[in-house]
């Protein structure tokens, strides 16, 4: 085996170990969510629903 | 603790106290929290034609709502003031999902649209609202870019009656450069809607110099015909300079008319032109005998000749949900 091939194999091996470890690290470090939790409060300001404001938002009455 | 949001293809990894790309999914104490759940910032009564949906309860009123936030960042966004805003900068109402059917009924609406920004960004609120509304006999409509992972999308479609999905271009580079997304998840969302029996209409906003070439339009129409069928309505929409794309002119009417002709020549049966008043761009014709079935002017139905969803001339069944 030439020195060049030996280096190639070594680099590939390191690459594989890195990828394997990365997904392992990801699994340990990250908590995965698809569905998020509901909030305790809204971060922006709140306004009450004014029915007139809603209906006036369109002149279209159907 | 870092969290990863697996809702959309972006898969944001979020540091404590930080937020995902949609700005509304925040890592609070190691828990991914949808901070706009139950807090819409926009609530309007619209005609269903405005969504646009032309083959779904024509002429109906539709309660339309949105919260802040979007998982795409389209440079031409027409609602960027709310889609690209942080929730702490926008006022909202408190309207929990269980109150929504009653609110819709009080405005004489039997349809609810999750729209303006993107309902997939405020996913949990959309899903719970769809569940509550369906239980109350109200139809749910999604107006979305369809940029969502398949498992949550399947769950949402199960409670949805119709969707207008924005196919912004049939080009991955367009999605990457202009919208900050990718094409494939959108195509999957379109096919899945069709497979799951959700009534589907497609919108394509034509933007001068970006997605208006004959080749682009031809490819989009061909993909639609092959994968969604020739009877899926396609709406070509006129672009107006907005947000980060104020350097471009509005789409010329001849471009939209040309797109209309291309779609027709590819073989799509129901093609419409939106955001522009044209002679026949908003009307529905029978694909068999060419009789005018529905005449529209912007959002107003001037004439509806359909009889039980059929052409009165040749009895061809017109696809859609008519009553």
B313 inside domain: no
Residue A10 distance to chain B (closest CA, Å): 31
With a cut of 50, list the residues of chain B below it in pLDDT: none
B103 contacts in A (CB within 8 Å)? 49
The pLDDT tens digits along chain A (62 residues) read 688 888 889 899 888 877 776 666 666 778 889 999 999 888 877 776 665 656 555 554 44
Taking the Cβ of residue A28 and every Cβ of chain B, the question of whether any pair is shorter than 8 Å is answered with no
Residue B226 distance to chain A (closest CA, Å): 32
Contact check, Cβ <8 Å, B108/A30: no
DSSP conformational letter for B319: P
Contact B34, B123 (CB under 8 A): yes
Residue A62 is predicted with a pLDDT of 42
B11 inside domain: no
* Chain segment B131-144, per-residue pLDDT in tens: 999 999 999 999 99
B5 contacts in A (CB within 8 Å)? 33-34, 36
B309 inside domain: no
The residue of chain A with its CA nearest to that of B31 is A37
CATH number at residue B181: 3.20.20.70
A42 contacts in B (CB within 8 Å)? 35-36, 38-39, 87, 92, 94
Contact check, Cβ <8 Å, A54/B1: no
B32 inside domain: no
What domain count does chain B have?
A: 1
A38 contacts in B (CB within 8 Å)? 33-34, 37-38, 124
Contact B51, B164 (CB under 8 A): yes
Name the residue facing A49 among B4, B13, B95 (closest C-beta). B95
C-beta atoms surrounding B179 within 10 Å = 23
Give B285's contacts (C-beta < 8 A, 6+ positions apart). Answer: B291, B292, B293
Contact A19, B10 (CB under 8 A): no
B299 inside domain: no
Residue A15 is predicted with a pLDDT of 85
Name the residue facing B44 among A32, A34, A57 (closest C-beta). A57
Residue A30 distance to chain B (closest CA, Å): 5
B9 inside domain: no
B294 inside domain: no
Residue B112 lies in domain: 39-282
**Spatial CA neighbour of B53 closest among B207, B231, B201:** B201
Residue A27 is predicted with a pLDDT of 67
B248 inside domain: yes
Residue A61 is predicted with a pLDDT of 47
Residue B36 is predicted with a pLDDT of 95
Residue B27 distance to chain A (closest CA, Å): 9
Nearest-5° angle of CA B64, CA B70, CA B71? Answer: 140
pTM of the model: 0.90
Contact check, Cβ <8 Å, B45/A57: yes
Residue from B65, B92, B113 whose CB has the most chain A CBs within 10 Å, to mutate: B92
Residues of B numbered 118-177 whose beta carbons fall under 8 angstroms of chain A's beta carbons: which are they? Answer: 123-124, 149, 151-152
Residues of B numbered 68-127 whose beta carbons fall under 8 angstroms of chain A's beta carbons: which are they? Answer: 68, 86-95, 103, 106-108, 123-124
Buried b (16+ CB within 10 A) or exposed e, B91-122: ebbebebeebbebbeebebbbbbbbbbbbbbb
Residue A1 is predicted with a pLDDT of 62
Give CA–CA dist B107/A49, Å, rounded: 13
Residue A58 is predicted with a pLDDT of 53
In the structure encoding, which two tokens stand for residue B7, read together?
């809702």
């Amino acid at each position: 085996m030439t020195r060049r091939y030996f280096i190639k194999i070594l680099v590939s091996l390191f690459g594989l170990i890195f990828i394997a470890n990365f997904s392992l690290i990801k699994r340990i470090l990250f908590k995965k969510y698809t569905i998020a939790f509901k909030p305790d409060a809204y971060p922006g300001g709140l306004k009450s629903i004014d029915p007139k404001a809603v209906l006036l938002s369109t002149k279209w009455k159907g | 603790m870092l969290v990863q949001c697996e809702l959309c293809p972006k898969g944001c990894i979020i540091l404590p106290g930080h937020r995902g790309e949609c700005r509304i999914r925040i890592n609070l104490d190691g828990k991914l929290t949808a901070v706009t759940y139950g807090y819409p910032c926009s609530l309007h009564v619209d005609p269903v034609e405005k969504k646009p949906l032309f083959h779904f309860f024509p002429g109906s009123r539709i309660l339309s709502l949105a919260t802040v936030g979007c998982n795409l960042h389209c440079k031409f966004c027409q609602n960027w003031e709310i889609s690209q805003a942080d929730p702490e900068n926008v006022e909202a109402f408190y309207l929990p999902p269980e109150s929504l059917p009653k609110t819709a009924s009080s405005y004489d609406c039997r349809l609810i649209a999750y729209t303006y920004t993107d309902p997939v960004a405020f996913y949990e609120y959309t899903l719970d609202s769809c569940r509550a509304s369906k239980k109350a006999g109200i139809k749910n409509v999604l107006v979305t870019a369809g940029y969502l992972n398949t498992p949550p999308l399947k769950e949402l479609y199960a409670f949805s009656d119709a969707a207008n999905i924005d196919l912004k271009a049939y080009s991955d580079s367009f999605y990457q450069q202009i919208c900050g997304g990718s094409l494939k998840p959108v195509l999957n969302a379109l096919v899945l809607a069709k497979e799951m029996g959700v009534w589907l209409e497609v919108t394509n906003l034509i933007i001068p110099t970006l997605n208006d070439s004959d080749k682009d339009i031809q490819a989009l129409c061909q993909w639609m015909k092959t994968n969604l069928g020739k009877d899926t309505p396609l709406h070509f929409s006129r672009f107006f300079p907005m947000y980060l794309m104020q350097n471009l002119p509005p789409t010329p009417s001849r471009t939209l008319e040309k797109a209309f002709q291309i779609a027709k020549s590819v073989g799509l049966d129901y093609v419409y032109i939106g955001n522009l008043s044209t002679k026949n761009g908003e009307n529905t014709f029978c694909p068999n005998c060419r009789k005018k079935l529905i005449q529209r002017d912007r959002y107003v139905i001037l004439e509806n000749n359909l009889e039980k969803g059929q052409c009165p001339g040749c009895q061809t069944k017109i696809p859609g949900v008519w009553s």
